[in-house]
A = this chain, B = another copy of it.
Amino acid sequence: MTAAWTAGPGALHSRDSHLWSVEDGDEIAVSCARTDQYALKFGSPYTVPLRELFAAARDRYDCTTVYFIADRKCVSVIEPARDEATACGLSVLGTSTLTGHESSKSVDSTLRMWDELSTAGVLRRTLVVGIGGGVTCDVTGFIASTYMRGVPYALLPTTLMAQVDAAIGGKTGVNLHGQKNLIGAFYHPIGVVIDPDAVRSLPDRILAAGLAEVIKVAVIGSPELFEMVAVADLHDFRSDPALARAVVRLAIREKLRQLSCDPMELGDLRRTLNFGHCVGHAIEAELGYAWLHGECVAAGMAVASRLGERMGHAAPALVSRILDTLARLGLPLRVPDEISEVVWDHLVRIERVRNGNLHIVVPGGKIGACVSLPAWPVEVAWDDVR
Contacts and interface: CB of A to CB of B under 8 A. Distances in A.
B40 A31 contact: no
A114 B182 contact: yes
A173 interface: yes
A266 B36 CA distance: 11
A328 B327 CA distance: 79
A171 interface: yes
Interface stretch (A144-152, A304-312, A332-340, A358-366): A144-152
A19 B182 contact: no
B353 A118 contact: no
A24 interface: yes
A145 B34 contact: no
Contact of A149 (B176, B186, B353): B186
A264 interface: yes
Contacts of A40: 27-28, 30
A384 interface: no
B184 A149 contact: yes
B18 A5 contact: no
A308 to B, nearest CB: 26
Interface in A95-138: 107, 111, 114-115, 118, 121, 123-124
A182 B16 contact: no
Given A32-B188, A146-B146, A179 B118 contact: yes
B182 A17 contact: no
A252 interface: yes
A41 interface: yes
Nearest to A15: B266
A157 to B, nearest CB: 14
Interface string A4-35: 01010001100111111111101111111111
Interface in A324-360: 353-355
A222 interface: no
A29 B18 contact: no
Contact of A16 (B20, B266, B268): B266
Nearest to A34: B34
A28 B265 CA distance: 22
B149 A260 contact: no
A186 B1 CA distance: 26
Contact of A184 (B107, B146, B252): B146
Contact of A253 (B28, B32, B253): B28
Interface of A: 1-2, 5, 7, 11-12, 15-24, 26-43, 49, 62, 64, 107, 111, 114-115, 118, 121, 123-124, 145-150, 169-173, 176-177, 179, 181-186, 188, 252-253, 256-257, 259-266, 268, 353-355
Given A21-B256, A185-B185, 13 more contacts: A2-B21, A2-B22, A5-B29, A17-B186, A17-B266, A21-B260, A26-B43, A26-B49, A28-B39, A29-B39, A30-B256, A114-B182, A149-B181
